[in-house]
């Protein structure tokens, strides 16, 4: 079974600074997808970014980018120019051949002035 | 577009009562899932379905039943509510291709007293 580990329960960043959230996973599959979801206080789950395991190029979506290290099974999220609206829980998730989505335990990001 | 609609948004049950959490999607997604979210534990898969008439257990299925008679609907039944089932419940749906992220409903906060 696949597992996803987020070792940072809480992180803090100052507005306009850059922060990196960590995620590692364990799998025996060679083809899979990785996702980062954002959950603001409204509770809604919002897809932030996705990465296909076969693509070497790291995904980027505006201020959000990932550092995908397939051999190390690492998938970190970098948020540049942090904004107050980025404050939320962030979940790393894995989707493989079974197409079930497996989540990590989440990282709560605080953004300070 | 309605997306994934969950009802109710909040519910209080007494121990031993039964209820059904409703979930409907209008995107013709093949895959549907139910998750529960508890503090410090991320989102855990309860049951999932890969199509009408097909369901399977996830990580924490005990105390819950599901059925999928149509593509659109995937209700979750609590047979005899217990305080351990106090949680936030999310329904999610997706196309079958694993590169697609799941779309989530807005969640149901359930309290069992």
> What whole-number distance in Å separates Cα of residue B99 and Cα of residue A71?
20
Residue B86, token pair as written in the block: 């106090």
For A15-81, what is the HEC assignment? CCCCEEECCEEECCCCCCEEEEEEECCCCCCEEEEEEECCCCCCCEECCEEEEEECCCCEEEEEECC
Q: Would an 8 Å CB–CB cutoff place B95 in contact with chain A?
A: no
List Cβ neighbours of B71 (8 Å cut-off, separation of 6 or more).
B28, B29, B30, B51, B52
- Give residue-wise pLDDT tens across range B31-48: 999 999 998 889 999 999
- Give residue-wise pLDDT tens across range A50-109: 999 999 899 999 999 999 999 999 999 999 999 999 999 999 999 988 888 999 999 999
Inter-chain residue contact B33 with A100, CB threshold 8 Å: yes
Inter-chain residue contact A52 with B99, CB threshold 8 Å: yes
Find out whether A112 and A83 touch, Cβ atoms under 8 Å. Answer: no
Residues of chain B where predicted confidence (pLDDT) is lower than 70? 1
DSSP B60: S
> What whole-number distance in Å separates Cα of residue A38 and Cα of residue B58?
23
Residue B44, token pair as written in the block: 């855990």
Query: With contacts defined as CB-CB under 8 Å, which chain A residues touch B92?
Result: 45, 101
Q: Would an 8 Å CB–CB cutoff place B39 in contact with chain A?
A: no
Residue to mutate among A6, A25, A40, A45, with most B CBs inside 10 A, is A45
Q: Residue B65: helix, strand or coil by DSSP? A: strand
């Amino acid at each position: 079974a696949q597992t996803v580990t987020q070792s940072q329960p809480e992180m803090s960043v100052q507005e306009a600074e850059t922060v990196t959230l960590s995620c590692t996973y364990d799998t025996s599959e060679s083809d899979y997808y990785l996702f980062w979801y954002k959950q603001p206080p409204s509770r809604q789950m919002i897809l932030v970014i996705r990465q296909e395991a076969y693509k070497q190029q790291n995904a980027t979506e505006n201020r959000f980018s990932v550092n995908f290290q397939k051999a190390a099974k690492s998938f970190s999220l970098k948020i540049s120019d942090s904004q107050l609206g980025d404050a939320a829980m962030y979940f790393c998730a894995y989707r493989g051949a079974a197409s079930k989505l497996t989540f990590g335990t989440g990282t709560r990001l605080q953004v300070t002035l | 577009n309605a997306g994934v609609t969950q009802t109710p948004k909040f519910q209080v049950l007494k121990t031993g009562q039964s209820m059904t959490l409703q979930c409907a999607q209008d995107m013709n997604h093949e895959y549907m899932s139910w998750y529960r979210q508890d503090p410090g534990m991320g989102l855990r898969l309860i049951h999932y379905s890969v199509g009408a008439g097909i369901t399977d257990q996830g990580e924490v299925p005990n105390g819950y039943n599901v059925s999928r008679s149509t593509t659109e609907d995937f209700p979750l039944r609590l047979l005899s509510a217990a305080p351990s089932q106090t949680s936030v419940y999310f329904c999610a749906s997706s196309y079958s291709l694993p590169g697609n992220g799941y779309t989530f409903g807005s969640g149901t906060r359930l309290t069992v007293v």
